[in-house]
Amino acid sequence: MSEMALSGGCLCGAVRYTTRSEKPHASVCHCRMCQRWNGAPFFMAFSVRATEITWQGQPVEWRSSDIAVRSHCGACGTPLYWKGDREPEYFDIALMTLDDPSVLTPVDQIWSTAAAHWPGILPDLTAWPREEREGEPFVRGSD
């Protein structure tokens, strides 16, 4: 497979990254934690290995649950990545932080049971009711 070079960063520019990897898997997460974290109906991310990322600036990391950490820019608050303890070598980077987000299209969606009332479960994407790696018991209306 051919390698793909990507670049992106937060809104204020204090944190930037470049990645070089095989075409990353991109997906949508509808879980309540991602909704709150982003203030949006869902979070979109692409997965790359830590060894495939170069960071400029220092992302702030915090433990959002007993199975994962999340990260944002300490200056502007832009969400940057989710990282699960089970696969700590992988970063799920916020897709819309890419300089050109159009180069990646999500291929599936997880936590469809928690999809917001609008726009709801997205058409044309495989929908998974939960995601074991997220380990969140939330379903619509239960939080």
Task: Tell me which of 26, 31, 48, 80 binds Zn ion, using CB under 5 A.
Answer: 31
Pick between residue 1 and residue 121 the one whose CB is nearest to Zn ion. Answer: 121
Partnered with residue 63 across adjacent β-strands are 69
Helix/strand/coil for 128: coil
The verdict on 45 binding Zn ion (CB under 5 A) reads no
Only one of the segments 58-66, 74-82, 87-95, 97-105 lies at the binding site for Zn ion (rule: CB under 5 A); that segment is 74-82
The verdict on 44 binding Zn ion (CB under 5 A) reads no
Peptide bond into 119 cis (omega under 30): yes
Integer Cα distance of 34 and 44 in angstroms:
9
Pick between residue 19 and residue 112 the one whose CB is nearest to Zn ion. Answer: 112
Task: Tell me which of 76, 107, 120, 132 binds Zn ion, using CB under 5 A.
Answer: 76
Integer Cα distance of 34 and 23 in angstroms:
23
Nearest to 119 by CA among 41, 54, 25: 41
What residues make contact with Zn ion under the rule CB under 5 A?
10, 12, 14, 29, 31, 34, 73, 75-76
